[in-house]
Structure 1
Amino acid sequence: MLTIDTRQGTASHPDFSHGNTLPLTGVPFGMHYLTVQTNGARGSWFFDPASHQYEGIRLTHQPSPWIGDFQHWTLRGVPANAADPLSPSVYDPAQAIFSPDLIDLTDTRYGTRTQATMAARAGMMTITSSGDSPLALHITAPQRWQVVTRSADGLILQTQNQSESRDPDFTMITAVSVDTAIDWDNATILTEAGSQSVDAAVTAGGTLILPLTAAAATVRFAASFIGAAAAQRLLAAINHESFPALHAANEAAWTEKLALIQARDSRPARVQTLMTNWYRSLLFPMRFYERDEQGAPIHYNTTARKVFPGKLFTNTGFWDTYKTNFPLYALLMPEQYGDFLEGFLNSAKETGYLPKWLSPDERGTMPGTMADAVVADAVTKGIRPDLWEDLLAAMVHGATTESPDPRYGRANLKDYRALGYVPADIPESVNQTLDYAYSDALIGVVADALGHTAMAKQYTAYGKNYQHLFDPQFNLMHPKDRDGHFTPGFDPLTWGTGFTEGGAWQNSFAVYQDMSGLIKMAGGPQAFLHTLHTLANTDPAFNVGTYGGVIHEMTEMNALNFGQIAMSNQPSFHVPYLYALAGEPSATQLLVKQLLLHAFHAGPDGYPGDEDNGSMSSWYIWSALGLYPLRPGFGDYVLGIPFFDEVTLQLPDHTVTLTTQNNANQMLFVQKRTADGQPLSGNTITHKQLTAMRTLVTKLQLLPSL
């Protein structure tokens, strides 16, 4: 397998993000991941790729530092006679291995080597001392936890509610076994209040110190959200498996998924960046279901606080991921996509609404109900038709029924339906309006596919509601008050007010369902392109507006220095492709190639902003292929400019080979394209065309054609 360093994008802090990622080890879409903790005192930013400090291997569920880690603990092995057992250790990050299937590092303070690997629900660590002194295991957890069962060579640990959850007692049960005896007589729990019995209930965090009788140990562990019996069952499945065998199985899981995209290029670093981004695209959403004794999927429902049948997934924010991740899964992994749909439908059945931001349950952050796009894209591409009627019902429920709990469904739905837009006295009014109009159009797509003609006509018409907020004076969206008047003092550089994580420049073009209508309202293609050129050529300045201060997205846009195209954040992802839709593909090609050349690489500072659950990685992949799914749910792609000499995509029934001729950095424009030997014209292709072809050849040139 290609060597992938999982530290891409980890050089981040709250004020500036190069990705805000973690170096996660596990399997694709796993239920738990492992990572390294360098400084837990930094909260969600507990890993620093430049730090030599080492506090242990962390079992983590953190999808983003802005969301936090809903369950975690760390494990570290040190000599049992260590004089200062709670102080950090030291390691050399340059000598450590951070890969999708393995963490391998040496604690140079104590001379112990740790190797760790993680399957979907169970993992293993080997800890080996360079001397003869027996080891001690340190298990550290925050907030409430307790050892509920202990034996000569193992324990069961329960940890409770370490970040938001509908269940205030949300519990993870971890079963642990060690291949050497535990000296329980000398075991203790150390907290800020002092030493406690190993049977004590910890209420504010602490460290369990377990002396062993040997200088080397293999630690096996399995974690469940259902109960101790489930955790023990998971542990039993690996209790007689060796570390090399489990590691090999996890490596094979990555090899299988990563092989769906195979690139060849004369610049190895470019291939490295592609495959590292592909790894990141395969992490989220995470599984949140287990198997009962008969092998059927079951999951813990944090709202009802009991176990339900079926699959469930977590750790994804649809406002980010619907744009790029899910269209990539639909192309390369439609069966996996179907599993995701099944899980999201279970969320809807159990809460009343399709999810918006899951971790572990509904966080309700960000505007819109963008799972609608995930559903419509599945319908357009023929994925899981057995679920479509139920999914449509869930979409319509979200579009017609406002929840008393603001975390669910569409906020301010009554105003939106009455006025056709969300009024300016409500924060993020423009973004809410545009997202709701897009979702309405998507309901029209699904209803039409299922033969519900009247519903399709009604919701397709609702999809035009974006028109209420279009201001022809600026050719941008503009907040409007309840009386139908645009708000005074409009400035497209001002962030907040009616906009989310940006201003009018970043958020006015989210009209995926009717780009031709938006172009017409702007005065036609030339007038629209004039607005887009002004956007690109305006300095990356900003006014903080209602944010009241500088937020990291402002800083990142300014640092990227790419005009008002804030490719550091999701609202601008599609903006470079709008030029092609308006008839200027050369501008799309120029902008996209500059971003691919300069804004991404495989290192710790490899992203221009928050990576956000694979969304930015997937943007890179799509753009490097020369394609972009600008409007999920409508089954087509905008053509851009390919970045690799050759890429082979493994579709479910055949391969598609994308070849780029004359592929030099200075070749910024497309001369011609041929699909299966036939000329391919135009600036878009359909999903049906892409999945039917075997070869797509693109020839580049120095200047655009006249």
Structure 2
Amino acid sequence: MRNEIFAMGIVGLLMVTIFSGCITLKKEDASEAAKERKQPTQFVNPFIGTSHFRGGHTSPGAGVPFGMTQWTPETQEYGPYDGFPPVPYYYLNSTISGFRGSHYPSGAWMGEYGSITIMPTTGDLKTSSKERSSAFSHKNERAWPGYYSVFLDDYKMGVELTATMHAGFLRFTPLGNGNLNVIIDTREKGGYVEIIPDRMEIIGYSRENGRSITPGNFAGYFVAKFDKPFSSYGTWSDEEIHMESDKEKGGHAGAFVRFVGKPGEMIQMKVGTSFIGVEQARRNLDKEIPDWDFNATKGGAKDLWNEELNKIRISGGTKEQKTIFYTALYHCLLLPRVFSEDGHHYSPFDGKVHEGVYYEDFSLWDTYRAEHPLLVLIEPERSEDMIKALIQMYEEFGWIPKWPNPGYSNVMIGTHADSVIADAWVKGIRGFDVEKAYAAMYKNAMVAPSGDQAPGYCDTLLPPGEYEARGGLSYYKKLGYVPVDRVKEATSRTLEFAYTDYCLAQVAKALGKNEDHKLFARRAMHYKNVFDSHAGFVRGKNSNGAWVKPFEPTEWYDYITEGTPWHYTWYVPQDVQGLIDLMGGREVFVQKLDTFFEKGSKEGAPNFGKNAYYWHGNEPSQHIAYLYDYAGEPWKTQRWVTEIMERSYGTGPDGLCGNDDAGQTSAWYVFSAMGFYPVCPGMPSYEIGSPIFDEVIIRLDERYYKGGEFVIKANNVSKENRYVQSVTLNEEPLDKPWITHEDIVNGGVLVFEMGSKPNKEWGSESEAAPPSLTKLRQPQNNH
């Protein structure tokens, strides 16, 4: 009964808040639309993407935008499949083993690092994650941006979490037994705890180091403070408990403190975190949560989220669409995470403390596609700082890493920081050292990793401490492609190297490096070397120039990364027109696209899940629906983009059809719902799809962009009226299915007239197609 009372109390508080808001709105005669714009957090559901193996891989914990530490419930120590790093929270689990100060990258298959787990219990002391776990019910669980709460059934206890950039605030309310234990677990990679009773503190660190190689001095430090003195305390190692011990160090060290109280008596706990040291953790805590006012901290977190989410304002649409949209935008604003503290940062590359801004957890193979372009648009200052961080990593490590977590890893292929840098530069972001950035990009493109000519080369064969930028680069430079009989994932590498060479060419041209521009522009066409015009697909090619046999485009070959030839044949974002020509023209190109989507729609049912054709849950497919724009049939882009939005996204825990991958899958939705998408980052254009809201207002940062705001209106839009009839830009007809970055950041109004039947003439002319290398036509302003 008491757990129901706690849950009813939380719900009651919510209802009072909402009711009070309604009274205020009525008193001020404010519109419902104005209310929605002011409080977009009301449409965020942090539980979206928390369910099933190939779901979002997200967690519903409390944090702030780009926060260094997220505070999340921990329901599992191991992933849904053994051998994969476990996301802290899995919706289908029924017990909670603690509340983690987490650095697990949202939506990714990477690792946890520098974290601690905190678990409040009553009764006998149990320290192992399994024994201390408590059952819970989702009906007694609440989450919104910056806040999480749950009732622990076994302990009859309410738990609430909120957060700041570097600190967390927890409060525990035991309703059955007032005597409370609070357990701190530094997890299994080694740690240290020290209890300071007269200060009501516990300090320490965790050595957990993610899915990466880090220096020997790497640690996540913490200072935990309580608002009441301990009645007793002790430490533990593995499952051995040491009463009245105040220090523990070792493989799995932990601490506990006990409080004697009455049922309903609340205990509060604040935790500062740092990667620099304990004293920095203390400074972070004292600066960000100076008082014991939980509601003020919670309110501050919510205000930060509303400020960020309000950078894109929407009107119209269904409640479900609004929830999916703002939850997607919320996911886009979690990573990369801030890693600097008071203007300094610990480097997980050289083990030193440096000055300067720093970010971590760049899932670059995923996020260069839409996540980073979205941040360039709505978070230009952070985008600039993220590039500064990548350059700083280059200085500390000698390379720009491809997936820092937090140190370097050789996860995924290619060097897509090249794309992130080029995209920001061509879109006007200038506040970073572009010469130094180009030097790092040039090294990626010209210096092969150790031993990449050894037979069967792949990143897992590299000696410990060796870094792979572009594995197979030696062959790529010599042959114009990466051969299958020498290097794993060879065909995908060739295609991705060609695209990032295009990105280098753009920066080289801007810097007046003409010979480099010619070199990389030529290499950007190397995709042609792995396209078999007879088969009509990209495929594996041996070092002697012979195609690998047998060949079936639906097979999952090891020369394709996480996919089939059907998936990767379309990976020529820099030269879609060139790909059309290789296939034999627009008609053949469109017919092949039709087959790809029709079969993917059936074989990937119901949500375009994993299959040999269109697979929305993995990144290589995500731009492909927009390729109809290049082939004279943008109405088919409109058809498939809206169908993907409807089928691949939802409002439940299974509302993401694949891993969110640090915000990329969510960023696809944000762009697509607004009505356009960046097919080729590094080229300042966006391809038009089908908007789903009556109005979208993008608020532009006037320190970077002079336009103030960009407005997208979709007249007569509905689920049935998904087809574009006509478009105007600033009251002038727009007959092209694309716009430029300059069109957006100069400010203005893009108006769609929508209908239930496709206008097959709009945007169909060959000269209306978006820019490609083969056309030698760069985007021009549409004004």
Per the shorter chain, which TM-score range? over 0.9
Please tell me the residue identity of whatever aligns with 1:189.
W
User: Helix, strand or coil for the counterpart of 2:270?
Assistant: strand
User: Helix, strand or coil for the counterpart of 2:132?
Assistant: coil
What is the deviation of 1:241?
Answer: 4.8
The residue number in structure 2 matching 1:5 is 45
Please tell me the residue identity of whatever aligns with 1:473.
H
Q: Which of 606, 610, 624 is equivalent to 2:655?
A: 606
The residue number in structure 2 matching 1:683 is 737
The structure-2 alpha-carbon separation of the partners of 1:668 and 1:134, relative to structure 1 and needing over 3 Å to count, comes to same
The structure-2 alpha-carbon separation of the partners of 1:509 and 1:250, relative to structure 1 and needing over 3 Å to count, comes to same
User: Helix, strand or coil for the counterpart of 2:575?
Assistant: helix
Q: Deviations over 1:254-309 (max 9, x none)?
A: 11100011111241111111001100010010112212xxxxx2111223222122
Q: Which of 477, 488, 494 is equivalent to 2:555?
A: 494
The residue number in structure 2 matching 1:182 is 230
The residue number in structure 2 matching 1:451 is 512
Q: Deviations over 1:42-67 (max 9, x none)?
A: 56144232444222211111115621
The residue number in structure 1 matching 2:630 is 581
| RMSD (CA atoms) | 2.3
Does residue 1:209 correspond to 2:256, yes or no? Answer: yes
Q: Percent identity?
A: 28
Task: Note if contact 2:61-2:148 (Cα within 8 Å) is conserved in structure 1.
Answer: no
User: Helix, strand or coil for the counterpart of 1:479?
Assistant: coil
What is the deviation of 1:168?
Answer: 4.2
Please tell me the residue identity of whatever aligns with 1:621.
V
The residue number in structure 2 matching 1:79 is 122
Q: Deviations over 1:583-626 (max 9, x none)?
A: 11111111011111222112200011111100000000111111
Q: Deviations over 1:382-403 (max 9, x none)?
A: 1025421111111001111124
Please tell me the residue identity of whatever aligns with 1:159.
S
The residue number in structure 1 matching 2:597 is 536
State how far apart, in whole Å, the 1-side matches of 2:541 and 2:159 are: 59
Q: Which of 628, 634, 651 is equivalent to 2:683?
A: 634
Does residue 1:656 correspond to 2:716, yes or no? Answer: no
State how far apart, in whole Å, the 2-side matches of 1:57 and 1:358 are: 24
Please tell me the residue identity of whatever aligns with 2:366.
D
The residue number in structure 2 matching 1:551 is none
The structure-2 alpha-carbon separation of the partners of 1:357 and 1:177, relative to structure 1 and needing over 3 Å to count, comes to same
User: Helix, strand or coil for the counterpart of 2:119?
Assistant: strand
User: Helix, strand or coil for the counterpart of 1:308?
Assistant: strand
1:302-701 residue pairs with structure 2 within 5 A?
Answer: 302-404=348-450, 406-425=466-485, 426-538=487-599, 560=609, 564-653=613-702, 654-701=708-755
State how far apart, in whole Å, the 2-side matches of 1:348 and 1:266 are: 44
Q: Deviations over 1:500-553 (max 9, x none)?
A: 0101010111111111212112222122222222322336799xxxxxxxxxxx
The residue number in structure 1 matching 2:208 is 161
516-525 or 502-511: which moved more?
A: 516-525
428-437 or 644-653: which moved more?
A: 644-653
State how far apart, in whole Å, the 2-side matches of 1:539 and 1:651 are: 37
State how far apart, in whole Å, the 2-side matches of 1:529 and 1:419 are: 31
Q: Which of 121, 127, 139 is equivalent to 2:184?
A: 139
Task: Note if contact 2:610-2:617 (Cα within 8 Å) is conserved in structure 1.
Answer: no
State how far apart, in whole Å, the 2-side matches of 1:385 and 1:114 are: 43
The structure-2 alpha-carbon separation of the partners of 1:39 and 1:414, relative to structure 1 and needing over 3 Å to count, comes to closer
The residue number in structure 2 matching 1:112 is 157
What is the deviation of 1:684?
Answer: 1.3
Normalising by structure 2, report the TM-score.
0.84
State how far apart, in whole Å, the 1-side matches of 2:184 and 2:744 are: 51
State how far apart, in whole Å, the 2-side matches of 1:337 and 1:243 are: 31
User: Helix, strand or coil for the counterpart of 1:94?
Assistant: helix
What is the deviation of 1:112?
Answer: 2.0
Task: Note if contact 1:415-1:422 (Cα within 8 Å) is conserved in structure 2.
Answer: yes
State how far apart, in whole Å, the 1-side matches of 2:61 and 2:552 are: 41
Q: Deviations over 1:647-680 (max 9, x none)?
A: 1111123122211122121223110111122211
What is the deviation of 1:439?
Answer: 1.2
State how far apart, in whole Å, the 2-side matches of 1:78 and 1:599 are: 39
Please tell me the residue identity of whatever aligns with 1:476.
F
Please tell me the residue identity of whatever aligns with 1:219.
M
What is the deviation of 1:90?
Answer: 2.7
Task: Note if contact 1:424-1:479 (Cα within 8 Å) is conserved in structure 2.
Answer: yes
Q: Which of 168, 178, 194 is equivalent to 1:123?
A: 168
State how far apart, in whole Å, the 2-side matches of 1:644 and 1:357 are: 35
The residue number in structure 2 matching 1:547 is none
Please tell me the residue identity of whatever aligns with 1:147.
V
Q: Deviations over 1:3-62 (max 9, x none)?
A: 22211101023xxx1212122321111111011112335561442324442222111111
What is the deviation of 1:207?
Answer: 4.5
1:244-283 residue pairs with structure 2 within 5 A?
Answer: 244-283=295-334
State how far apart, in whole Å, the 2-side matches of 1:473 and 1:567 are: 28
Please tell me the residue identity of whatever aligns with 1:236.
D
1:221-236 residue pairs with structure 2 within 5 A?
Answer: 221-236=271-286
What is the deviation of 1:220?
Answer: 0.9
Please tell me the residue identity of whatever aligns with 2:303.
A
User: Helix, strand or coil for the counterpart of 2:665?
Assistant: helix
Please tell me the residue identity of whatever aligns with 1:100.
P
Please tell me the residue identity of whatever aligns with 1:524.
G
State how far apart, in whole Å, the 2-side matches of 1:641 and 1:314 are: 34
Tell me the matched-pair count.
685
User: Helix, strand or coil for the counterpart of 2:393?
Assistant: helix
Please tell me the residue identity of whatever aligns with 1:176.
A
Task: Note if contact 1:220-1:239 (Cα within 8 Å) is conserved in structure 2.
Answer: no
What is the deviation of 1:416?
Answer: 0.9
The structure-2 alpha-carbon separation of the partners of 1:87 and 1:156, relative to structure 1 and needing over 3 Å to count, comes to closer
Structure 2 gaps of 5+ residues are: 1-38, 80-84, 451-464, 703-707, 761-783
Task: Note if contact 2:349-2:393 (Cα within 8 Å) is conserved in structure 1.
Answer: no
State how far apart, in whole Å, the 2-side matches of 1:194 and 1:176 are: 20
Task: Note if contact 1:148-1:158 (Cα within 8 Å) is conserved in structure 2.
Answer: no
User: Helix, strand or coil for the counterpart of 2:524?
Assistant: helix
The structure-2 alpha-carbon separation of the partners of 1:188 and 1:457, relative to structure 1 and needing over 3 Å to count, comes to closer
State how far apart, in whole Å, the 2-side matches of 1:646 and 1:311 are: 36
What is the deviation of 1:198?
Answer: 3.5
State how far apart, in whole Å, the 2-side matches of 1:305 and 1:100 are: 33
1:3-42 residue pairs with structure 2 within 5 A?
Answer: 3=42, 4-13=44-53, 17-42=54-79
State how far apart, in whole Å, the 1-side matches of 2:246 and 2:568 are: 54
Normalising by structure 1, report the TM-score.
0.93
What is the deviation of 1:179?
Answer: 0.9
The structure-2 alpha-carbon separation of the partners of 1:256 and 1:299, relative to structure 1 and needing over 3 Å to count, comes to same
Task: Note if contact 2:217-2:351 (Cα within 8 Å) is conserved in structure 1.
Answer: no
Please tell me the residue identity of whatever aligns with 1:263.
I
State how far apart, in whole Å, the 2-side matches of 1:646 and 1:327 are: 21
What is the deviation of 1:81?
Answer: 5.5
Please tell me the residue identity of whatever aligns with 1:175.
V
666-675 or 302-311: which moved more?
A: 302-311
Q: Deviations over 1:79-98 (max 9, x none)?
A: 35668994322332222211
Task: Note if contact 1:428-1:500 (Cα within 8 Å) is conserved in structure 2.
Answer: yes
User: Helix, strand or coil for the counterpart of 1:106?
Assistant: strand
State how far apart, in whole Å, the 2-side matches of 1:315 and 1:108 are: 35
The structure-2 alpha-carbon separation of the partners of 1:413 and 1:83, relative to structure 1 and needing over 3 Å to count, comes to closer
The structure-2 alpha-carbon separation of the partners of 1:515 and 1:463, relative to structure 1 and needing over 3 Å to count, comes to same
The residue number in structure 1 matching 2:218 is 170
State how far apart, in whole Å, the 2-side matches of 1:639 and 1:632 are: 15
User: Helix, strand or coil for the counterpart of 2:574?
Assistant: helix
